[in-house]
Amino acid sequence: MQQRKRITMHDHAAEAALFRRRAMFTFICVVILLLTLVGNLYHLQITSYKDYATRSNDNRIRVVPLPPSRGLIYDRNGKLLAENQPFYSLEVIPEKVKDMGTMLNELNKVIPLSDDERQNFTEALKFHRRFKPLTLKSHLTEQELAAFSVNQYRFDGVSIEAGLNRYYPYGELLTHVLGYVGRINNRDQKALELSGDWPDYAATNDIGKQGVEKFYESLLHGKPGHLEEEVNNLGRHIRTLKVEAPEPGQDIYLTIDLALQQKAMELLAGRRGSIVAIDPRDGGILAMASSPSYDPNQFVHGISAKAYSDLLNSRSRPLINRATQGQYAPASTVKPFLALMGLEDGIVNEKTRVWDPGFWQIPGVERKYRDWKRWGHGWVDVYGAIINSCDTYFYDLAYKSGVDRISSFMDQFGFGENTGVDIYEESPGNMPSRDWKRLRYNQPWYIGDTISVGIGQGYWTTTPLQLATAVTILANKGRRLPPHLLKSIKDSTSMIDSPVEERAPLELKNPHHWEVIADAMRQTALKSRFSDASYSAAMKTGTGQVFSVAEDAKYDADTIDEHLRDNALIVAYAPFENPKIVLTVILENAGWGGQNAGPVARAMMDEYLLRDKWELTHAQP
């Protein structure tokens, strides 16, 4: 049977409706996609334009910080104490060197390279971009610089780059005043981050570590500049777009008198001790010597572990600034202060006399406190007590005054507290009291402790600068000027003197007592080292015990170890009528104060006060 062909009838209306729905859906999708595209373009080009432009520039423009030159340091007369010297280093651009091993071997024939230098360079090369320069050898000598300059044509990709490093031309002479700069370490970085100053050190490797360099870091460092350069996607330099020059640090002038500082170190001659000189008219420190010292330049480039260990473990302790950190018994140098206290409190007057048979006893106690003069001074008044340094007089005065009064009176002269000098390395010394002993040793205060304090011994300790500051108050008859090192600041436009913040004066109930003490010290000088001086002076010597001698024993320097011998001290000021210099000298384990420290003080005074006369006498015709 023949099959019939099936005929399908199309519903054109339904198909047209379906087409329209699909077309509408497609159109809506296209519109949505176009709107999304337009929205994204709006977001990129308008809403987020600044953000993406900044990102683009960050990738295209590199900001390179430029280090500022550090401010210079001068003495009061304009003599340069700390400068910036150029240094030269050997730089290598790795991609320009065909064979690094061969280049290093050939270069070693021109400039000797140590095994450490080659190894450090090879290690650093592994993590270094090949188109950037890498330091091979730093701080070239003049001979190395000349040798490479002649042969530079042989070494593609190797060049010499210059920089500036801190340099101290007088070496160990001013180490404990100036301090030094050194590499920024993790502790320095954390401190800078906390203070918000870290961005200013982006281009700097060094920072002040001690002394004036550290205290006035904010003045000396300056402000960094920057260079904007265009780079490609690999970070290669294309061109320089902008340069903003760094702002150099400010130059500072110190109160230090270089010639007097040199004289102080010359007189110390490597002995352990300190000399401090202050101008009492403004509190400026003229000299602050601590011996032994060390060369700060070795810290600038990075001191070796062995050299630092030698300094750290030395028995002479050269790292300690003896002028501000050395703590010594003031001994008889504080007797003028004690006498002034006795006069003020009415315990003694100018005519009060004390019998000195060579010893003194606490009433009802058998122990004898010996005078330095074993047979005694006889009847002694306040003048004789200071001139002859009579211990018995001051034993009696201390007993009658008591430690509470001694402590409170001496606080007014700054004993037992920091002087406020403008360096961080300072110790306060110790002005003992009942409370101090209880807190320190959990022991009561005994009357015997007071007797020792009455001659500047026992628990009483002071620094040379602290003692000089106290004597300055005596010389100024109560005027109190804190010691300082900064004299003036110089920027690009002017010289600005540093203000002196004078403290409230020490006022006595009877100002005549200043004259009594001053006259006693003047007579002491006339009787001793300054008897033939062409200027008038006032002084007081001291011999500080390092260890206690038994009651009936005799001190013999020849039979004890050198480090247990007495310290020699002297304080002085001159001219007497109008003081221009106050001086403290402390020589460790040198023995008798007047005999050993006296000549040093006289030489220092002559150097400072007779300088103009000497120059006039020796002037060229």
Distance of alpha carbon 260 from alpha carbon 258, whole angstroms: 5
255-292 as b/e: b if 16+ CB within 10 A: bbbbbbbbbbbebbeeebbbbbbbbbbebbbbbbbbbb
As a whole number of angstroms, the distance between CA 81 and CA 485 comes to 13
Separation CA 386–CA 403 (nearest Å): 20
Residues 464, 455: contact at Cβ < 8 Å?
Answer: no
The answer to whether the annotation marks 29 as part of a ligand binding site is: no
Dihedral pair phi/psi, residue 579, rounded to 5°: -55, 135
Q: Is 371 annotated as a binding residue?
A: yes
What is the Cβ-side half-sphere exposure of residue 66, based on CA atoms within 13 angstroms? Answer: 13
C-alpha to C-alpha distance for 210 and 191, rounded to whole angstroms: 15
| Contact between 576 and 605 (Cβ < 8 Å) | no
Gyration radius of the chain's alpha carbons: 38
> Does residue 411 have a known ligand-binding role?
no
Beta-ladder partners of 162: 88
In whole angstroms, what is the distance from residue 540 CA to residue 523 CA? 10
Cβ neighbours around 249 below 10 Å, total: 21
Q: Which of 274, 290, 332, 498 is catalytic?
A: 332
Q: Which residue has the tokens 């730093």?
A: 138
Instruction: Please say if 401 is a catalytic residue.
Output: no
Catalytically active residues are 332
Q: Give the annotated binding-site residues.
A: 356, 371, 377, 390
Per the annotation, binding residues for Zn(2+) are 356, 371, 377, 390
